[in-house]
Amino acid sequence: MFIIWEKKYETNITIIDRQHLKLVEITNQLFEALEESGGRQMIPEILQKLREYAQIHFRTEEELMERYDYVDIILHQNEHEDFIDKITEFYGKLERQEASSFELLTFLRSWITHHILEEDMQFAKYLKNKGVQ
């Protein structure tokens, strides 16, 4: 396992936690594919799945932000957009062998965990105060 889910990542907003867990799961699948012989050819497909699922997840968060008038929405949205752009960039770089899968995984782990612990946690606290569970 590449990212180990810990209690500290829990926002206690059910839908968000479920989706975060799934994002972590797909990232771990990427890692496992690298460990397997012949698994490397699965990377583009899994990365595509990660990008698609991240978009679904970001939309969920942004809809909640709109519904509850979250003041830092633009900042948070920009972070989400940067992540999708970065994945797209990696997609091309991996193909052209300008980046390694290790760099990709390191980036994913760092971004996902930091974003959850900082931006998402702040937003979840706001939602909690509004009575969302």
Distance CA 133, CA 119 (A): 18
- For residue 84, count other CB atoms closer than 10 A to its CB: 14
> Distance (Å, rounded) from C-alpha 25 to C-alpha 16?
14
Contacts with Fe ion, 45-74, as mask; x by CB under 5 A: ----------------x-------------
**How many residues form the binding site for Fe ion (CB under 5 A)?**
2
Q: How far is the CB of 61 from Fe ion (least distance, A)?
A: 5
Instruction: Output 40 or 59, the one with its CB closest to Fe ion.
Output: 59
| Nearer of residues 88 and 122 to Fe ion, judged by Cβ | 122
Q: Note the Cα 61 to chain centre separation in Å.
A: 12
CA–CA separation, 27 and 32 (whole Å): 9
Dihedral Cα 64, 68, 72, 77, nearest 10 deg:
20
Q: Draw the binding track, 86-125, toward Fe ion (x: CB under 5 A; -: no contact).
A: ----------------------------------x-----
Q: Which is nearer to Fe ion, 61 or 127 (CB)?
A: 61
Q: Which is nearer to Fe ion, 99 or 121 (CB)?
A: 121
The residue of the chain with the least Cβ separation from Fe ion equals 120
Tokens of 20: 């975060």
Q: Which residues bind Fe ion (CB under 5 A)?
A: 61, 120
